[in-house]
Amino acid sequence: MKQLDLLDWNPPCMLIAFPMAKRIGKIRRVAEVLSARRGAAATNYWKQMVATMGGQMQRAGFDRDTINRELREFHDAVQRELWLRSG
């Protein structure tokens, strides 16, 4: 039986130094702007933010699944902030 050389194997690793959902200042600013805009203006601002952040992550070398997950988590964080501001 052949013994596997486990020292040659490296597990895949992805470290996100600054996860989108933890960027509190950015989350609060986006929530502030969105709460002041309505309709198409709010939608356009959100689309611009998502495109900008997605482009930054793509240029940094993140894969599409990671980018989508980060943007979903950022969206959820902004929604929580908007909910907190409303109550």
Q: Is the dihedral of CA 83, 56, 64, 40 positive or negative?
A: positive
**The pLDDT of residue 2:** 66
Q: Which helix (H) or strand (E) holds 82?
A: helix 64-86
Residues of the chain with pLDDT under 50: none
Cα 81 off chain centre by? 15
Q: What is the pLDDT of residues 59-80, one digit of tens each?
A: 999 999 999 999 999 999 999 9
* DSSP, res 7: G
Domain segments of the chain as ranges = 18-86
